[in-house]
Structure 1
Amino acid sequence: MATPDLMTFVAGSTPVLLNVPHAGTLLPGEVKSRLREDALELKDTDWHMDQLALPCADLGVSILAADYSRYVVDLNRSAEDMPLYSGPTTGLVSQIDFDGCPLYLEGQEPDTDDTEARIQSYWAPYHQALNAEIQRIKAQFGICVLVDLHSIRSQVPRLFDGVLPDFNLGTNSGASTAARFESCAEKFLQSASYSFVKNGRFKGGYITRHYGRPSQNVHALQLEIAQATYMREYAPWDLVDNKANKLKIAIKGLVSALLHELDTTA
């Protein structure tokens, strides 16, 4: 099922849901016309992560992916725009990119009314769909495992020092999932011939922290992937086929491991 211009949804037949909130590249005209020329490159997009997630549909998982750019509204921030980290970041309707450069033409920055309109038109419908699928899965299986997939340039000095590890698993320091799912993901990712860290710079954003409720049988894990593992980190942001194919296998392997863990603990 596809919801035009908002999100793409694939209904699954297992307790696992893959969510991809930042791979969208669509811009409504009223936003696009106000962005600076360099902002139109959309360099902070989680490029191709929806494509990399789609093969997991073969395993019977549900997949939800945003079609609109994070420059419209950031689906991984709360509607109240509460900061998630103590260091530099970007906001719900950000006026700067990851590097701290302005996104909008002078005098065209979004105001409070713009922000509220984007929440109502884009943020709220997406979260309604996400919550509805979590609840459907939980009602059918008694449990839901949400995997929130992200990617980012491997070097963003404003956000973190040095080069980011390939795989960055976030569980809100263990609060968003039961230990068995965290351990399952950690063991697989550590064995997948990529560099790995758990709850480092990326501990999980709003989606992981808000929806991950282990006591209610909803378990959420965030996977932030360094883009150097599968693509060129500059415009036109092309996939590198051999790297991308390897990463598809790794993502599918992670999902398979979680499904196996669900089977063994059912």
Structure 2
Amino acid sequence: MIVTVRNDGPLIVSIPHAGLEIPEDIAPALISPARARHDADLYVDQLYAFAFKLGATLIRTTTSRTVIDVNRDPSGQTLYPGQFTTGLCPRVTFDGDPLYHPGQEPDETEIARRRAAWFDPYHAALTAEIDRLRDLHPAIVLYEAHSIRSVVPKLFDGRLPEFNIGTNSGQSCAPELAHSIAAICAEQQRSHVIDGRFKGGWTTRNYGEPDKGVHAIQMELAMRTYLTEVPAADWPPRYDDLHAAQAQATLRPILSAAIDFARTQ
């Protein structure tokens, strides 16, 4: 299901990976529902709920990224050539563990079905909101809200910075937007990087057109920024309001800066 909460400010917060729902006709093919949900961007929808009060429109899907990843290139082309990543309909987890029983992985027909059922509606909703807000504002910011475990050896070395800002190497938004967000992180002594391991997924790359007034930026939070991470055997961790509030103390000025940026264009 696609959930859109409309507002009229020049900011869209897109949340493509917080969903946990797995349809009944897909679940039997999976080795484990828990494993299928392990790579979710846990609680990111709760974390960013405050954005509506700032004037932002929020769009999210309740469907698990294991069913279909709405932030991947629908052609199947990898976003990070030469590096491990998961695809449009992932067959393995971020740790490389198989998601499906042997022989039950989605084939081309099933991938096409899932794209029509979940991927296309998400991007239709996103496109509609971009068009609506561009009619109201000379420029808007599309902010892709993500999170990931702080340590995922198959994806990156060591421990991820808290705030990972992605701009597709400066192509998806004006550099001053990324720099203003990085400055807020620095002021609050938060570890951060611009275009490190995560440079932005397909949504950021596809919709970011700064010369046409659409500035797209991705924020990949290390989960320790807003919750207490636990061992895999105890996953998932619980949502912690106090810990989340500490992260929101940085995220709130970041989103406000994005709105101020759009209004000055």
**1:9 corresponds to which of 4, 15, 19:** 4
Contact 2:167 2:200 in 1 (8 A): yes
Alignment match, 1:84: 79
Deviation track 1:68-93 (CA, whole Å, cap 9, x = no partner) reads: 00001001101101101020010000
In the alignment, is residue 212 of structure 1 matched against residue 208 of structure 2?
A: yes
1:262 Cα deviation after fit: 3.0
* Cα pair 1:26 1:67 within 8 Å, conserved: yes
Judged with a 3 Å threshold, the aligned counterparts in structure 2 of structure 1 residues 151 and 229 are, in CA distance, closer, same or farther, namely same
* 3-state secondary structure, aligned to 1:65: strand
Q: 2-side partners of 1:210 and 1:191: how far apart?
A: 31
Per-residue deviation, 1:237: 2.3
CA deviation map 1:43-75 (0-9, x unaligned): 100000011111110011111111100001001
C-alpha separation between the residues in 2 aligned to 1:82 and 1:107? 23
221-230 vs 249-258, greater mean Cα deviation: 249-258
How many angstroms does 1:39 deviate by?
4.5
1:167: how far off? 0.4
C-alpha distance in structure 2 between counterparts of 1:219 and 1:238, whole Å:
33
Name 2:100's counterpart in structure 1. Answer: 104
Distance 1:55 1:233, change over 3 A: same
Partner amino acid, structure 1, of 2:226:
Y
Q: What's 1:249 paired with?
A: 249
Cα distance in 1 for residues equivalent to 2:33 and 2:228: 18
Q: 1:260 Cα deviation (Å)?
A: 2.3
**CA–CA distance in structure 2, aligned partners of residues 78 and 236 of structure 1:** 28
Consecutive unaligned residues of structure 1, counting only runs of 5 or more, are: 1-5
> Equivalences for 1:1-266 in 2 at 5 Å?
6-37=1-32, 39-40=34-35, 42-86=37-81, 87-234=83-230, 235-263=235-263, 265-266=264-265
Unaligned runs of 5+ in 2: none
Q: Secondary structure at the match of 2:26?
A: helix
Runs of 4+ in structure 1 displaced over 6 angstroms? none
Cα distance between partner residues in 1 of 2:158 and 2:35: 26
Output the amino acid matched with 1:148: E
Q: Assess if the C-alpha contact under 8 Å between 1:77 and 1:91 holds in 2.
A: yes
Contact 1:39 1:103 in 2 (8 A): no
Deviates more, 1:75-84 or 1:38-47: 38-47
* TM norm structure 1: 0.94
* Number of aligned residues: 260
